[in-house]
Homo-oligomer: A and B are copies of this chain.
């Protein structure tokens, strides 16, 4: 601004333009505003009282513009933005809980919203565009979705405590079962694996919460097949039938292929793929 410079030419230089351009610019501004900003006394230009008021308003306008610029650079670098992420409970709690905390701490200007739900719901939300990314059990091929593998989790079989040893070795005698609700991807995978082994998979109790399934097994309601992280954690950890997993459940990061995500989302995804699975 010209208010704090003594000479017209000095102010022009501060603006980085020639004195002539500065003069023309001020004249054009006065014309467009219809307000005289400077009194002319000899070769001296004295700012009018109107000029100081105009300067305050002009500074606010410039600051508002600069705020947009700042936001743009922050968004460009991934320091700011909106990230709508979804995770299944195991991922949110066991595998990526501290990663999420760390991301939150390192990116305070990112608005990270996490929703925990079942794989099916998460993938549906990603498809609808309500979620930017989801960590879920790998789904069938879908050309509109991109799935990058994150973690392979072993799923083991857990009989109720006190099950006779002869039943343990014969899969046809396994069951009955407690498992996730019918819509669960894991339940479907487990069911398929048991069928190929010749075992029945009659589910006598359901819950979406691994904690609840674990307690049911402890109470003798039935067998279950769970991810190790869900089954063998205290309190009341279960004893696996064998160390060998029944199947391996693959957790992937799902996102829409057509949607260009912001750098903030990319940053979170990179963090997830770089994360070593917590054993």
What distance in Å separates the Cβ of A44 from its nearest Cβ neighbour in chain B? 11
A42, B123: Cα distance in complex, Å: 21
A28, CB-defined interface residue at 8 Å: no
A9-17, A55-63, A183-191 - interface stretch? A55-63
What distance in Å separates the Cβ of A146 from its nearest Cβ neighbour in chain B? 15
Residues in chain B near residue A262, CB distance under 8 A: 35-36, 48-50
A39, CB-defined interface residue at 8 Å: yes
- From DSSP, what is the main secondary structure of chain A's interface residues? helix
How big is the A interface, by class? 35 or more
- Is the CB–CB distance between A260 and B36 below 8 Å? yes
What distance in Å separates the Cβ of A82 from its nearest Cβ neighbour in chain B? 4
A101, CB-defined interface residue at 8 Å: no
A64, B65: Cα distance in complex, Å: 9
Interface string of A245-262 (1 = CB under 8 A from B): 000000000000011101
- Is the CB–CB distance between B82 and A49 below 8 Å? yes
Whether A35 contacts B75 in the complex (CB less than 8 A), given A50-B81, A50-B262, comes out as yes
- Is the CB–CB distance between A35 and B72 below 8 Å? yes
- Is the CB–CB distance between A67 and B75 below 8 Å? no
- Is the CB–CB distance between B75 and A259 below 8 Å? no
A21, CB-defined interface residue at 8 Å: no
Residues in chain B near residue A81, CB distance under 8 A: 49-50, 53
A129, B41: Cα distance in complex, Å: 12
- Is the CB–CB distance between B71 and A57 below 8 Å? yes
Centre residue among A34, A67, A69, A72 by max chain B CB count within 10 A: A72
Residue positions of A touching B, CB distance < 8 A: 33-36, 39, 41, 46, 48-50, 53-54, 57-58, 60-61, 63-65, 67-69, 71-73, 75-76, 81-82, 84, 129, 132, 258-260, 262
In the assembled complex, 24 residue pairs joining A and B whose CB atoms fall closer than 8 Å, in A order, are A33-B69, A34-B73, A35-B72, A35-B75, A35-B262, A36-B262, A39-B259, A41-B258, A46-B129, A48-B260, A48-B262, A49-B81, A49-B84, A49-B132, A50-B75, A53-B71, A53-B82, A57-B68, A58-B68, A61-B64, A61-B67, A61-B68, A64-B64, A64-B65
Known: A49-B132, A53-B75, A54-B68. 19 other contacts (CB 8 A): A33-B72, A34-B73, A35-B75, A36-B262, A39-B260, A48-B260, A48-B262, A49-B84, A50-B81, A53-B81, A53-B82, A54-B72, A57-B64, A57-B68, A57-B71, A58-B68, A60-B67, A61-B67, A61-B68
